[in-house]
Amino acid sequence: MHELSITRNIVAIVAEAAKGRPVDRVTLEVGRLSGVMSTAIAFCFDVVAKGTALEAAQLQIKEIDGRARCHDCGDEFDTPDLYTSCPCGSHRFTRLRGEELKIKTMELREVA
């Protein structure tokens, strides 16, 4: 369960960027082939965020489907898992999407 470690990274990165201001929302992109479970990050988030600038933050996770371009036929195709080959039969391709593990945005509370 590496998601606790990953969630700690997320909270640390955002808290540092927020420079002490309270954070109301954090948006992540998590690819379905990233090896990280969105549900597990959500599960850990409250515990990890407690006592930080993210304590009251809403976590939004956008899951990205896998997509690749084949080296042999040049077509793009969906990759629901890591071992799906191109419909043409080739196992050689470039992943276009689906391995993201990224903090996209944060929303800072207006301080009066």
Partner 1 sequence: MCAVCGCSDGATATITDLRHDGHDHVHADGTRHSHDHDHGHGHDHHHDHDHGHGHGTGTLVALETKVLAKNDALAAQNRAWLAGREILALNLVSSPGAGKTSLLERTIRDLGGALDLLVIEGDQATSNDAQRIRAAGAPVVQVNTGTGCHLEAEMIARGLAVLKPAAGAVVLIENVGNLVCPALFDLGERAKVAILSVTEGEDKPLKYPHMFKAATIMLLNKIDLLPHLDFDVARAIANALQVNPDIIVFRVSARTGEGLDAWYGWLRREALRAPEDAFAAICSGPAGVTKQMEETVS
CB of 20 to partner 1, least distance (A): 14
One residue of 50, 82, 87, 88 binding partner 1 per CB under 8 A: 82
One residue of 50, 56, 73, 88 binding partner 1 per CB under 8 A: 56
Which letter does DSSP use for residue 98 in this model? Answer: S
How many residues lie near partner 1 (CB under 8 A)?
63
Q: In what order do the strands lie in the sheet with 93-97?
A: 76-78, 67-70, 93-97
CB of 47 to partner 1, least distance (A): 7
* Phi/psi of residue 15, nearest 5 degrees: -60, -40
Task: Verify binding: residue 83, partner 1, rule CB under 8 A.
Answer: yes
C-alpha to C-alpha distance for 92 and 51, rounded to whole angstroms: 47
Enumerate residues 6+ apart whose C-beta is below 8 A from 31: 63, 64, 66, 97, 98, 99, 100, 101
Note the residues at the interface with partner 1 (CB under 8 A).
1-6, 8-10, 12-14, 17, 23-25, 28, 35-36, 38-40, 42-47, 56-65, 67, 76, 81-83, 85, 91-97, 99-110
